Amino acid sequence: MTAAFTSIVRTNSELQEILGEPPAPVVMKTLSALDRHCRAFIAKSPFVLVASSDSEGRMDISPKGDPPGFVQVLDDKTLAIPDRPGNRRADTFHNLLDNPHVGLIFLIPGKKETLRVSGLAEIVRDESLRESMAVNGKTPDLALVIRVEEAFFHCAKCVTRSKLWRPDDWPSLEGLPTLAETMIDAAKIDAPADAVQAIIDEDEKERLY
């Protein structure tokens, strides 16, 4: 059964009446290009979330991780992200072929603030770029290149509230399913969880780069 609601905000004026006007510095902090602070943050970030949508607005968010600085700043308006071996769904790439708009959130472990970037993306295969992204002798087949339109730093409140970087406050993992268990239930796979998990573990070991 789908949840039903009786009080829904439907206009910008309704929303503004509830939230009020944002402080001027919050609006004015948005950049149209990457400054030195953005570059420094990206150089230390080992993890970025990439949001995209297809032509009908269906959203996807894909995590990308590698050694710090794996996202290259090619110039103050251009970023490049290597595409490492994955599950071959390529949801982000399929989406941007329909709709090139993407949004990024960069995180640095232990740093409460995050960096948000948005722009237009394209799939690039230039050999010189891909070779500059090689790790352990493995060159990515594709690179995601983003033409930056907006960038700004996001305050620490969400990370502070969630205690994201405080291991002593992390929730217990007890009771959570393994990836194998989720796949077996979702795809109705007729195989024991141990066998499916062994395939997942072997794939991670053999196809990390």
Residues 80 and 97: their CA atoms lie apart, in Å, by 17
- 103 and 193 both lie in a single domain: no
Q: Any idea which residue has 């004015």 for tokens?
A: 28
**Residue 58 reports pLDDT greater than 90:** yes
Do residues 196 and 141 share a domain? no
Statement to judge: residues 115 and 190 lie in one domain = no
Which is nearest to 42 in space by CA: 146, 137, 160, 121? 146
- 69 shares a domain with 157: yes
**Which CATH number do you get for residue 29?**
2.30.110.10
Query: The domain containing residue 196 runs over which residues?
Result: 174-206
Residues 100 and 192 in one domain: no
Q: Is 163 a residue whose pLDDT tops 90?
A: yes
- Domain assignment of residue 183, yes or no: yes
Residues 85 and 180 in one domain: no
| Banded model confidence at residue 109, pLDDT cuts 50, 70, 90 | very high
- What's residue 206's pLDDT? 87
In SS3 terms, the chain reads as CCCCCCCCCCCHHHHHHHHCCCCHHHHHCCECCCCHHHHHHHHHCCEEEEEEECCCCCEEEEEEECCCCCCEEEECCEEEEECCCCCCCCHHHHHHHHCCEEEEEEECCCCCCEEEEEEEEEEECCHHHHHHCCECCECCCCEEEEEEEEEEEECCHHHHHHCCCCHHHCCCCCCCCCHHHHHHHHHCCCCCHHHHHHHHHHHHHHCCC
167 is a domain residue = no
> Does 145 score more than 90 pLDDT?
yes
Q: Are residues 34 and 89 in the same domain?
A: yes
Considering the domain architecture, whether residues 139 and 183 belong to the same structural domain is answered as no
What per-residue confidence (pLDDT) applies to 1? 80
Predicted confidence (pLDDT) at residue 55 exceeds the cutoff of 90: yes
Average pLDDT over every residue of 10-29: 94
**Is 92 among the domain residues?**
yes
